[in-house]
Amino acid sequence: SVYVGIDNLTETRIAQKVAKHFAAAGYPVLTDSEATAQVLTDGGVSDVKVIKFDYDNRRTLRDAVFDSNIDLVVNLAKLRPSDKANSNYAMRRMAVDFGIPLVNDQRCAEMLVDALKALPQGTATALYGSQELNIETPVDVKSWQQYLDMRK
């Protein structure tokens, strides 16, 4: 699943684009507030589930995170948190603490989605959401020795 967080400075268009892409790829979209769920729903994401984690209790947080099967955290909040009790700070910290990939920049999130959409058809196959993608290496991969031999 993809866990999405925003604040009032986040460009809703980008948050909606990211959530819509991952929902279309078969990932459940989760968020931490009803307001964020409404923003994502308004952008065309049909099923957004609100999950509020207890960030203060590390033991229950760990269990809740793994039960939710979070594959990616996309927190696009732009405001700097005033303290550690801020939900966006806690969401980012949770991702780092549990080794979950985190995207916390709006432009990077948009570029990630654009890059995933532009993946070429090729020979190597990977599982991505509920879709099977063919990923082609753009250049021939050579061993280090082949590279050194080319320089002679």
- Residues 29-65 have pLDDT tens digits of 999 999 999 999 999 998 999 988 888 888 888 888 8
Parallel, antiparallel, or unpaired for β 72-75 and 2-5?
parallel
pLDDT digits (tens, 9 = 90+) for 12-25: 999 999 999 999 88
113 to 7, 59, 76: CA distances (angstroms): 20, 33, 14
For the full predicted model, state whether its pTM sits above 0.85: no
| Whole-number Å distance between alpha carbons of 36 and 43 | 11
pLDDT value, residue 88: 86
pLDDT band with cut points at 50, 70 and 90 for residue 80: confident
Sign of CA dihedral 134, 135, 139, 141: negative
pLDDT band with cut points at 50, 70 and 90 for residue 134: low
Which carries the bigger pLDDT value, residue 131 or residue 142?
Answer: 142
| Whole-number Å distance between alpha carbons of 20 and 41 | 9
Query: Which residues on adjacent β-strands are paired with residue 75?
Result: 5
pLDDT value, residue 126: 56
| Whole-number Å distance between alpha carbons of 130 and 98 | 24
Average pLDDT over the chain, rounded to an integer: 84
